[in-house]
A and B are shown apart, each in its own frame.
Chain A
Amino acid sequence: MAAADSPSAALRRHDLCTRGIRLAGKMRADVVDLLDTYVEQQGLDASVSVTAVEGVPAAAVERWDEQTGTQRLLENLAAYRAFRALLAQMLEEQQEQLGEADAALGPALAAVLLQVSAFAYHLEELLRLESRGPPSEEGAGPPPLSHLGLFERKLRGLGVLRELAQWAVRSARDLRQLAKPSLGSSSAPGPAESP
């Protein structure tokens, strides 16, 4: 495996970042479309507020500009692994609830799930380049929903998708930070640093 700062590793990182940024952009566009479909299919008001949902990684972050490259990758990876499980759960529920009546939502959910999985893999590759390797997946899946009523589950699904849309924007920004040539993967950007 190439050393983290060798020229070939730097090129590979840049390539992975560039492709990752494109993936994140496409993912975001698809999640936004999926949100429209979801709201319509579930009979929800698009402007309804959803409070923080249990088990859904929040994209909101303080001092984002001070994060190191490794922190960014780890937080992103943890988030997309969680979304992978959450979307799989939503897909299963959809199939149970709507079954054959679901012409649009199921396939759209499945397509986004695929992209989320691909992006998670992409992040694992980037972490391997950092000579860190990705952390092993945590055993616990998303919290069970059996105690939630139908309407609460619909709102929860809305919360998941909204947060995923935020993450897709954040991930593109994170990867652009990573792709900056002046920054090493494990060093925090200093205020006086100039490219």
Chain B
Amino acid sequence: SSTDSHIQYERVGADVTMKCGSMDWDAAVTWTANGTDIDESHLNGSYLILKKVDLTQSGQYSCYEGSSWHLKYQTYLRVGTPPKEPVLMCRSNNYPKGFYCSWHLPTPTYIPNSFNISVIHGTREMVCERDVFPKNRCHIRYLQLFSTVKYKVTLTVTNALGKNSTSVTFDEFAIVKPDPPESVVAKPVPNNPRRLEVSWQNPSSWPDPESFPLKFFLRYRPLILDQWQHVELSDGTSHTITDAYAGKEYIIQVAAKDNDIGTWSDWSVAVHATPWTEEPKHLTTEAQVTETTSASTSSFMPPPTTKICDKGAVVGSGAVAVCWTAGLVLAAYGVLFI
């Protein structure tokens, strides 16, 4: 463990002994934890003994002289763990400009950690520019392209209770993985019940698609099926699906890869589309006329009162008068709008 004048770091499960500053062992003292008195059973003379500390025991510990209540000692106890081996990955989504490395700890330490990263290319040490805290990421610009010499990235994590490190070694080409394509749009094609037109854009993070063209992988399926159809496209940022099931809603995604090197991107955000279908024909039977009247006053036709006031459907003597009235009102409307 290490003791700062104000902060003391201890491992989970450790036994901790705190002395009350320069007070003698047999002095009468009172200890508090976050302002609450600590029971005397935790004391050995004026020393505070905490056995097998856990995370809940982190906090401010103060020691006061018995009679005067003068504060004699104060510390902030932080209970935590030394770091486990960190997880490190490096990727180039902006080839050929550079690459980035990002990392995280597999389990939290509950105390502050500092990270140091080194990047070696052959005999040359390269600078990895850190992102602003708390982002665990740094960026490197390529100084050379097309090199067969591998890169070695070493990450060391240190905290008050220990340190750990990990390394990755890779080729320039192997870590190239673009971001997914953007702005994927899928539209039906008018008068074509089996087609869907899909278009997308290169990921904006890819700096030079003209010199470093991407190729694409499209996958699509109707929502009702689990099996995907796949199409690989060596150029262009659009494709027409010609074998869609009529009337079925489709889910479509696109992925990208540098034409020559590296790996496929993650799939893009999914888009949904349904192929064009023919409009339903106009309904001409009497039963449907009432449904269309609300849509257009110019085609309004007063419904036959006999239909509304079907004796079979109406119950009670008062209903006859209501029906008759309704018929009059509707006829009046019909006159108004002709």
Residues of chain A touching chain B, judged by Cβ–Cβ distance below 8 Å, are 25, 28, 49, 58-62, 64-65, 162-163, 166-167, 169-170, 172-173, 176-177, 180, 195
* B121 CB to nearest A CB, Å: 10
Contact partners of B149 in chain A: CB under 8 A: 60
Interface of A is mostly: helix
Instruction: Give the docked Cα–Cα distance between A180 and B212 (Å).
Output: 12
Q: A61-B144, A61-B145 are in contact. Are A169 and B261 (CB under 8 A)?
A: yes
Instruction: Give the docked Cα–Cα distance between A101 and B173 (Å).
Output: 35
Query: Which residues B194-236 have CB closer than 8 A to chain A?
Result: 210-213
Query: Which residues B119-159 have CB closer than 8 A to chain A?
Result: 143-150
Contact partners of A167 in chain B: CB under 8 A: 146
Instruction: Give the docked Cα–Cα distance between A164 and B242 (Å).
Output: 41
Interface residues on B, range: 10 to 19
Q: Which residue of A lies closest to B147 (CB)?
A: A60
CB-contact partner of B146 in A61, A176, A180, under 8 A: A61
B150→A49 contact, CB < 8 A? yes
Contact partners of A163 in chain B: CB under 8 A: 148
Q: Which residue of A lies closest to B210 (CB)?
A: A180
Residues of chain B touching chain A, judged by Cβ–Cβ distance below 8 Å, are 96, 143-150, 173, 210-213, 259-261
Instruction: Give the docked Cα–Cα distance between A195 and B208 (Å).
Output: 12
Contact partners of B211 in chain A: CB under 8 A: 173, 176-177, 180
Q: A176-B210, A176-B211 are in contact. Are A60 and B148 (CB under 8 A)?
A: yes
* B126 CB to nearest A CB, Å: 13
* B59 CB to nearest A CB, Å: 51
Contact partners of B145 in chain A: CB under 8 A: 60-61, 64, 170
Contact partners of B150 in chain A: CB under 8 A: 49
Contact partners of A59 in chain B: CB under 8 A: 146-148
Q: Which residue of B lies closest to A174 (CB)?
A: B211
* A40 CB to nearest B CB, Å: 20
A176→B148 contact, CB < 8 A? no
Contact partners of B144 in chain A: CB under 8 A: 60-62
Instruction: Give the docked Cα–Cα distance between A60 and B147 (Å).
Output: 4
Q: Which residue of A lies closest to B211 (CB)?
A: A176
A64→B143 contact, CB < 8 A? no
B260→A28 contact, CB < 8 A? yes
Instruction: Give the docked Cα–Cα distance between A60 and B171 (Å).
Output: 12
CB-contact partner of A169 in B143, B146, B210, B213, under 8 A: B146
A170→B213 contact, CB < 8 A? no
Instruction: Give the docked Cα–Cα distance between A180 and B210 (Å).
Output: 8
Contact partners of A195 in chain B: CB under 8 A: 210
